[in-house]
Amino acid sequence: MSKELGYLFVFSDPQGSEIPDEEYHDWYDNEHLPPRLKTPGFYAGVRYKATDAQYPRFGAYYEYEPGTLESDAYKRLFTERSQREARIFDKIQLSRRIYKLLSTHGNAGVNKPAKFIVYAGVTPTKGKEEEFKRWYVEEHMPLVQKNPGWIGARRFERVGDGDGTKYLVVHEYENLDWQTSPEFRACMEQAVEWMRKNEDNTAVRERRVMQRMYD
């Protein structure tokens, strides 16, 4: 695998449309996902469902060789798609986020995809970008690593001006025990204190907790 890594995270949900959940999952699992995994340049694709009661309820991430999304093979997935795929794309909630890898921490990505992930996105306050990155890596990440069941994390930066925050961290966990742990409370207290001192209304934050859909 290349030392570089492209990361595409897609949130989607048929809620509020005429597409039943059953058809949505059948389409995604049997028609949408397989050709992407067969496209040259793609390394992996994994589906997740929300455990946090937020919408959209479903997410999927794809790891790929940089440049793959600009390839003719990938573009054909859209120009040659089926009538059902075109119909579903037109009806569902959909948000695509494209990122490049900045750093890897712990054992993120070493084994099979984690059962649980925390998707944490931030666009820092204007003028605080470098300070935010330094704080996250040097002060916040060491606290997060103490959470029970933490496997590792990968940090990303958005490519272009599309959906999603400027920076993204995806933490991998074995379970959800960390949510009630004193270690997690310490993480949250530290984060709230940093935000209180350094963020204003130009900052954007996004946080999701998700579980892998299939073993």
- Write out the two tokens for 121: 């996105």
Eight-class DSSP state of 70: G
Instruction: Give the dihedral sign, CA 49/89/87/44.
Output: negative
Strands 58-64 and 42-50: antiparallel
pLDDT of residue 109: 87
> What does pLDDT average to in each consecutive run of 10 residues of the chain (215 residues)?
80 96 98 97 96 97 96 96 96 97 94 95 96 97 98 96 95 97 98 96 97 93
Fold of 103-212: Alpha-Beta Plaits (3.30.70)
- Write out the two tokens for 40: 């040259």
Domain limits of the chain?
Answer: 6-98, 103-212
pLDDT of residue 5: 87
Residue 41 Rama label (left phi>0; alpha psi -120 to 50; beta):
left
Equal fold, 6-98 vs 103-212? yes
Q: What is the DSSP string of 136-201?
A: IIIIIHHHHTTSTTEEEEEEEEE-TTSSS-SEEEEEEES-SGGGGSHHHHHHHHHHHHHHHHH--T
For 103-144, what is each residue's pLDDT tens digit? 999 999 888 899 999 999 999 999 999 999 999 999 999 999
May I ask the CATH architecture of the domain 6-98? Answer: 2-Layer Sandwich (3.30)
